[in-house]
Amino acid sequence: IIENIVEIGVDILNPLDPEEGNDIVEWKRRYGQKIRFAGGLSKNFWEMSFNEMKKAITEILAGTNGGIILMTASGVPEDIETEKFQNAISLFKELNK
């Protein structure tokens, strides 16, 4: 079905939730020149340790070579600790250079 979505001219798919079987790295490899993808991070991303967050982000960015909107399907929880949110933002900036 992704091929049909790309063919009709949709320019972004959002969100690609890995828990629902979506592999943002594979979709980017196949169709990334014709469409943008958003998602890729586990719904459990905000429960991860700093090192787990870094590993998750690094793996996706290495596999996609950028050109995606990296996010969780569930967004940012309302009760996220400020420090954890700021650490994640720092990781995104550091790893997406």
pTM for this model (two decimals): 0.84
- Residue 25 confidence (pLDDT): 93
Helices 82-95, 50-64: crossing angle, 10 deg rounding:
30
State yes or no: pLDDT of 82 exceeds 80.
Answer: yes
State yes or no: pLDDT of 51 exceeds 90.
Answer: yes
Residue 75 token pair: 């967004």
- Residue 83 confidence (pLDDT): 93
- Residue 12 confidence (pLDDT): 92
The dihedral region occupied by 66, where left means phi > 0, alpha psi between -120 and 50, and beta the remainder, is left
- Residue 55 confidence (pLDDT): 94
Residue 82 token pair: 């400020």
Q: What is the mean pLDDT of the chain?
A: 90
Gap between the terminal Cα atoms of the chain: 32
- Please compute the mean of the pLDDT values over residues 32-61 and round it to a whole number: 92
Residue with tokens 């650490």: 87
The strand pair at 36-41 and 12-16 is best described as: parallel
- Please compute the mean of the pLDDT values over residues 73-82 and round it to a whole number: 90
